[in-house]
Structure 1
Amino acid sequence: MTHPLHDLRLPGPTLVLVDDSDGLALDALRGIEDVPGVEPTVVPLSTLDGPRKGWGSVLVVAADRARLRRMASAVPLLGQCKAVACWLTDSPTPWVLVPRPEWPRLVHLAAREAGDRGVLTVARFASGARAQLVVMEMARQAAGPGDTTHGGVVVSYAGRPAAPGLDARSVLLPDVAGAGDAERDVPPDVVVARRGATSQQSVAEHHVIDRAPIVVTDPGPEPVDERVFNPIGFRKDWDHPVVDLSRIGRGPVTEGVVAAARAFQGVRLPADTRTADLLALAISGVPLVTEGVLDVAPPLAAALDAPVDLDDPLRREEHSLAVRRAAFDHHSTLAWRSALATRAGVRHVALPPVSALLSTKRPEMLDFALRQVARQRGAEVELVLAAHGFEPDRDAVRRALGDRPHQVLTFDQSDFFGDVLTAAARAASSEVLLKVDDDDWYSPDAVHDLLMARRFSGADVVGMPSEFVYLHRNEHRDALTVRRNHPSEIFARFVAGGTLLLDRGLLRSLGDFRRVRKFVDAQLLAGVEAAGGRIYRTHGLGYVLRRTGAGHTWERDDEEFRRPDIVASEWPGFQPSLALEADPLDMPDGGS
């Protein structure tokens, strides 16, 4: 059998670095010594106790991007070499490395499939590059653009591997006592150690942080790397019925297994499924059929155990959303590190605060709009209310929002819509901004889910599709709820204007909201696209667009929303997704 790397040529000798707990990568390496273009020395990660130098090239082997990111946290100094390669044995999609400006001149770059076994990326340099830094950058870029920080909490590991998720600052220690070493310039806040490790008393107070690093021996299940395992690519339809996990994977759940699972109605897990495998599938949004779920957070166990009709595409997607949200909130690297920070008593930035920008010309819609903001959960939300042409009752606004922070601005009726939104954005206190509309419905988790998508996608702009549309009754028909067949959980060019989430800095770089009377959303999205920004469209279950036939800045014949080529379903009256958790107060009057 031909080896997947049979056509690879690397200057020797080649250090082949592999995590000895990565069974899939170890299996793929069989026969590497017979590849004619490689002079390999296979070194398991656990045997590295110091710098390894004198190599002509370095080949890092991991099953997928998640395992690459985890092992890169522990890669020591490797010296300089002219070629660095990364073979992901069970990853489905090649990825391209962007060289850093401080590296030597790049003379060759390849990203391709590795025969029938995964993908290969090779970088060759004109002179020696520091291999450790190249490997770390490969791990960082493999997950795409996005947040590569860890919110301020510094974690070390004693007598055990690093947790999933790339952490360039993590240090592997032989024992917990090393965390208090006075010579260490960047001491950890937390040391994660195996059960039975030396007690907290063995760690000395460190002069940099004026306390001893906290020792944690019971951090719970290992987190799942949400930058790799996430709902991107979720399918609303399926090609095949529910399948047993053993039919689509020959070992641990990898990116390749998740990609294969997308074609199935769901995946059935046996009672002895590893927690790590369950979490990877759950946070990826794969519909799951489980029994005897153990060792996961109660909200995730409840979501998995909830009855669901997988034959109904909408109920299936709602189940997927509930499961992936619970997995993210309790088992992502973000949640795991936040829990460690709480135990250590240090700051940790998890999901950032959001300022919701609400511009309205309709005082009659204000109470409704305020309720949509007040009901948000799982996120810190400030409201910046921009009353366009009227003076709102500020006491009523305060009562409606309770203790939620807010600001009230007023503008003349003649002011440009874009100028009103720009003023609201400049008054906002948060670095993340969300444009909301005054007449649309938002689920209690809408802001949370947009932030969740921002985290796992790394996109510059995140939004929802206007997948559910409520059409008020008119002289030709009764009221309808239309579900359109917009794909979701994809990178796209368009998202609903009432769900636009982006950073303040990006908005300012685009010149703020354009000075226009209408189509302000289209101007913003066009500017982001022209600048090369990435736009991500998450699920559409938590948002319903309202069309009354008049009073919209987006003027369009309501019947356009019912074109046969874009409609998936129609229901009489107001029938949103169950994920909306519609408040009876906000039901359309008489369903009209």
Structure 2
Amino acid sequence: MTHPLHDLRLPGPTLVLVDDSDGLALDALRGIEDVPGIEPTVVPLSTLDGPRKGWGSVLVVAADRARLRRMASAVPLLGQCKAVACWLTDSPTPWVLVPRPEWPRLVHLAARETGDRGVLTVARFASGARAQLVVMEMARQAAGPGDTTHGGLVVSYAGRPAAPGLDARSVLLPDVAGAGDPARDVPPDVVVARRGGAPVEVAEHHVIDRAPTVVTDPGPEPVDERVFNPIGFRKDWDHPVVDLARLVDRVGPGPVTEGVVAAARAFQGVRLPADTRTADLLALAISGVPLVTEGVLDVAPPLAEALDAEVDLDDPLRREEHSLAVRRAAFDHHSTLAWRSALASRAGVRHVALPPVSALLPTKRPEMLDFALRQVARQRGAEVELVLAAHGFEPDRELVRRALGDRPHQVLTFDESAFFGDVLTAAAHAASSEVLLKVDDDDWYSPDAVHDLLMARRFSGADVVGMPSEFVYLHRSDLTVRRIHPSELFARFVAGGTLLLDRGLLRSLGDFRRVRRFVDAQLLAGVEAAGGRIYRTHGLGYVLRRTGAGHTWQRDDEEFRRPDIVASEWKGFRPSLALEADPLDMPDGGS
């Protein structure tokens, strides 16, 4: 049988690096010594105990991006070579490396599929490049743009491999005592050690003025949310619920990889036996794959509860609600972000998890103020400041304070003649957070709306995140329509009442444009023109209200009921269960 790398040519000798716990990668390497264009020396990471130099090329082999990112911190000094390649044996989509400016001149770059066995990226240089740094950059870029920082927590590992997720700065130590070495310029805050080891005292380190915290019971290994996430979730399906064993066999025997998740998108759900590996369960759960489980699972109680709920997977809406509940619980308790936050808490170290958000609420309608304040006050799972921009009226500040409780807020007032864009810009300037969210005064938001936007921002790495206006309540007709809006994908448009972006990006665009109407369209057009990425997450936590008046943009109700764009239509107010609508907020005539 022809080897997947049969047509690859690399200058020899070639160092082939592989994680010896990565069975899929090891299996794919069988026969590589017979490939005519490669002179390989296969070296498992666990055998490395120092620099490995003198190679003509380096080939890193991993099952998928998650395993590549995990092994990055274990790659030693490799010297210089003119070719560095990365073969992801069970990853479905090629990715292109963007060279760094300090590297030697790039003379050739290729990213392609390797037959029916994964994808390959090859970088060739005019002169020798530091292979270790190229490999680390490959691991960093493989998941696309996004947060690659450690959030302020420096972690080392003693006697065990690094946890999933990219942490290129983490140091692998032979033992716990090495964390206290006074010659170490960047000592760890936390040392994660192998379970069952004898207790070891770690010396106080002069840089951090304390001894690093040793953790031997960090709980289940986290799942890398930059790789395993809901991007690509399908509201429909081609096949019924499938057993995990059968699904994995279709892709190739082994653990759940990116390829397995991609294949699962075509199924109504995946049935997991009671002995499913926790890592496999978490990879599917955080990816939003609808799951049918049996038995007790070694996961956080909120995730176990979400998995145990009775769900009618034949109903597309109930199926998506189940997917959302499961992926949210998995993210909150088992993502690398949650795992590192828990370690930081044990060590008493600051850690940047989900950032605070300033919600910008412009309104011309005093009659909608109570309603709008309740939408902000009910938010959970996120730190939210409200910047109320009253446009043409003076709000009751005591009413605002009572409605928001201890939530931070600011109240700004503007003359009725002020441009809508100027009102929003002033609100953005007054905001205290680095992440801004534009909200509307008459739309419904679930208690998890801000959290879910931040979650999508984290896993997508997008510049702007928003929800679709998938659910629309038509007040005059007393109808709720669910439109055919694809979600969990990169797109050109999101609902204006859900725009989440960084303050720095807004400033670079010249703030909100000085316009009377269509301020959202101006912003999105500017982001797209600048090459920014816009991500549309789920639409279950947002309902657009159409009253026929008071909007800065006008559309007839019938436009929202066109058969070609409507998936479902109900009499009365019928949002998703994920909205958790408060009875106080039911519209007149709502059922």
Distance 1:518 1:558 in 2: 19
Distance 1:545 1:158 in 2: 52
Contact between 2:389 and 2:411, CA under 8 Å: does it hold in 1? yes
Q: CA deviation at 1:306?
A: 0.4
Distance 1:471 1:217 in 2: 56
Select which of 444, 461, 466 maps to 2:464.
Answer: 461
Contact between 1:18 and 1:44, CA under 8 Å: does it hold in 2? yes
Distance 1:165 1:509 in 2: 31
Query: Could you report, residue by residue, the CA deviation over 1:211-253 in whole angstroms, capped at 9, with x for unpaired residues?
Result: 0000000000000000000000000000000001115552100
SS in 2 for 1:73: helix
SS in 2 for 1:395: helix
Distance 2:336 2:344 in 1: 12
- Does the alignment pair 1:66 with 2:66? yes
Percent identity over the alignment is 96
Contact between 1:471 and 1:547, CA under 8 Å: does it hold in 2? yes
Query: Could you report, residue by residue, the CA deviation over 1:365-423 in whole angstroms, capped at 9, with x for unpaired residues?
Result: 00000000000000000000000000000000000000000000000000000000000
Contact between 2:155 and 2:170, CA under 8 Å: does it hold in 1? yes
Of residues 556-565 and 367-376 in structure 1, the stretch that sits farther from structure 2 once superposed is: 556-565
Distance 1:192 1:388 in 2: 53
Distance 1:389 1:101 in 2: 51
Q: Structure 2: which 5+ runs fail to align?
A: none
Q: Structure 1: which 5+ runs fail to align?
A: 197-201, 475-479
Q: TM-score, normalised by structure 2?
A: 0.98
Q: CA deviation at 1:293?
A: 3.4
Query: Could you report, residue by residue, the CA deviation over 1:149-173 in whole angstroms, capped at 9, with x for unpaired residues?
Result: 1210000000000000010110000
SS in 2 for 1:591: coil
Distance 1:72 1:410 in 2: 52
- Residue of structure 2 in register with 1:482 after alignment: 481
Distance 1:563 1:508 in 2: 38
SS in 2 for 1:315: helix
Contact between 1:106 and 1:126, CA under 8 Å: does it hold in 2? yes
Query: Could you report, residue by residue, the CA deviation over 1:5-50 in whole angstroms, capped at 9, with x for unpaired residues?
Result: 0000000000000000000000000000000000000000000010
Of residues 326-335 and 293-302 in structure 1, the stretch that sits farther from structure 2 once superposed is: 293-302
Q: CA deviation at 1:473?
A: 2.4
Query: Could you report, residue by residue, the CA deviation over 1:295-328 in whole angstroms, capped at 9, with x for unpaired residues?
Result: 1000000000000000000000000000000000
Contact between 1:386 and 1:408, CA under 8 Å: does it hold in 2? yes
Contact between 2:152 and 2:350, CA under 8 Å: does it hold in 1? yes
Distance 1:357 1:294 in 2: 41
Query: Could you report, residue by residue, the CA deviation over 1:521-577 in whole angstroms, capped at 9, with x for unpaired residues?
Result: 000000000000000000000000000011111211121011111000000000000
SS in 1 for 2:150: coil
Contact between 1:248 and 1:261, CA under 8 Å: does it hold in 2? no
Distance 2:34 2:217 in 1: 44
Query: Could you report, residue by residue, the CA deviation over 1:93-119 in whole angstroms, capped at 9, with x for unpaired residues?
Result: 000000000000000000000111000
Q: CA deviation at 1:590?
A: 2.6
Contact between 1:483 and 1:570, CA under 8 Å: does it hold in 2? yes
Of residues 465-474 and 205-214 in structure 1, the stretch that sits farther from structure 2 once superposed is: 465-474
- Residue of structure 2 in register with 1:477 after alignment: none
Q: CA deviation at 1:352?
A: 0.2
Distance 1:485 1:344 in 2: 47
SS in 2 for 1:20: coil
Contact between 2:476 and 2:548, CA under 8 Å: does it hold in 1? no
Contact between 1:50 and 1:77, CA under 8 Å: does it hold in 2? yes
Of residues 140-149 and 549-558 in structure 1, the stretch that sits farther from structure 2 once superposed is: 549-558
Select which of 309, 326, 336 maps to 2:329.
Answer: 326
Distance 1:137 1:104 in 2: 14
Distance 1:313 1:590 in 2: 26
Distance 2:195 2:5 in 1: 40
SS in 2 for 1:571: strand
SS in 1 for 2:74: coil
Distance 1:560 1:531 in 2: 31
User: Which stretches of structure 1, 4 residues or longer, exceed 2 Å deviation after superposition?
Assistant: none
Distance 2:226 2:438 in 1: 25
Contact between 1:434 and 1:502, CA under 8 Å: does it hold in 2? yes
- Residue of structure 2 in register with 1:421 after alignment: 424
Distance 2:289 2:104 in 1: 42
Contact between 2:251 and 2:259, CA under 8 Å: does it hold in 1? no
- Residue of structure 2 in register with 1:183 after alignment: 183
- Does the alignment pair 1:335 with 2:338? yes
- Does the alignment pair 1:170 with 2:170? yes
SS in 2 for 1:134: helix
Q: TM-score, normalised by structure 1?
A: 0.98
Q: CA deviation at 1:467?
A: 0.1
Contact between 2:239 and 2:267, CA under 8 Å: does it hold in 1? yes
Distance 1:365 1:544 in 2: 15
